[in-house]
Amino acid sequence: MTIAVYPGSFDPIHNGHIDVIGRAARIFDRVIVAIANNDAKTPCFSFEERRFMVEEALQGYFNVETDILDGLLIDYVHKRNAGVIVRGLRAVSDFEYEFQMALMNRRLGGEIETFFLVPSEAHTFISSRLVKEVARLGGEVASFVPSHVKKELIRKLL
Ligand code: PNS
């Protein structure tokens, strides 16, 4: 049984994340979506708000669960007996950071492998940062996020 952890800020979850989660759920026995803080970013939504949006978006995925990760990713991966870290790769611009993180986690974690999954090209330009910017400025985000996330974005940002 292979357990995969898909970590991310999910601030908020968008259709590109959901695409990657669907792909991971077809490959691995169990997928844990781990909502974490990225030291380089100040989150707009609290852990609980992000968890609510992720859980709503993932209803119907029987082998996917959601959790909050408040610490070192690699420690969490060991604690959950997972063998794999999943990350999405949208474009070459993601590569350097992802490569660095994968190697750091390998150095810290030994046996843990990082799997990169590529979302549908329909989602490759979507990022949480851009979705928040568009929403804050009154733009339409319905094609980037599920409807409940759009509602939360409007409530929080407008
Ligand atoms: O969605 P993001 O912001 O690209 O996700 C980055 C995230 C949260 C996966 C990364 O910052 C992380 O792993 N944070 C947990 C703390 C940690 O282990 N940092 C060292 C990573 S090598």
Q: What is the CATH number of the domain that holds 60?
A: 3.40.50.620
- Total domain count, the chain: 1
pLDDT in tens, 1-50: 999 999 999 999 999 999 999 999 999 999 999 999 999 999 999 999 99
Cβ-in-10-Å burial (0-12, 13-18, 19+) of 157 comes to: middle
pLDDT in tens, 94-112: 999 999 999 999 999 889 9
Q: Torsions phi, psi of 154, nearest 5? A: -65, -40
* Partners of 88 in beta bridges: 117
Does residue 150 carry a catalytic annotation? no
> Closest ligand 1 atom to the C-alpha of 38?
11
pLDDT at 2: 97
Does residue 78 carry a catalytic annotation? no
The boundaries of the domain holding residue 98 are 3-157
Report the separation in Å between the CA atom of 153 and the middle of ligand 1, taken as the mean of its atom positions: 23
Report the separation in Å between the CA atom of 7 and the middle of ligand 1, taken as the mean of its atom positions: 7
Protein residue closest via CA to atom 4 of ligand 1: 8
Name the pTM for this structure: 0.98
